[in-house]
Amino acid sequence: MTNEVILLDFWPSMFGMRTRIALREKGVEFEYREEDLRNKSPLLLQMNPIHKKIPVLIHNGKPVNESIIQVQYIDEVWSHKSPILPSDPYQRAQARFWADFIDKKMYDAQRKVWATKGEEQETGKKDFIEILKTLESELGDKPYFAGDDFGYVDIALIGFSTWFPAYEKFGNFSVEQECPKLTAWVKKCLQRESVAKSLPEPEKVTEFVSMLRTKFVAE
| C-alpha to C-alpha distance for 6 and 210, rounded to whole angstroms | 30
Q: CB under 8 A: which stretch of 9-17, 66-74, 159-167, 202-210 binds other proteins?
A: 66-74
Among 94, 165, 190, 217, binds other proteins (CB under 8 A): 94
Contact 158, 199 (CB under 8 A): yes
Among 70, 116, 121, 194, binds other proteins (CB under 8 A): 70
Among 11, 101, 173, 208, binds other proteins (CB under 8 A): 101
Among 38, 62, 81, 215, binds other proteins (CB under 8 A): 62
| C-alpha to C-alpha distance for 145 and 208, rounded to whole angstroms | 29
x/- string (CB under 8 A) for other proteins, residues 5-44?
----------------------------------------
Q: CB under 8 A: which stretch of 67-75, 143-151, 179-187, 191-199 binds other proteins?
A: 67-75
Among 11, 73, 173, 208, binds other proteins (CB under 8 A): 73
Using the minimum distance from each CB to other proteins, give the nearer residue, 30 or 170: 30
Minimum CB separation of residue 45 from other proteins in Å reads 15
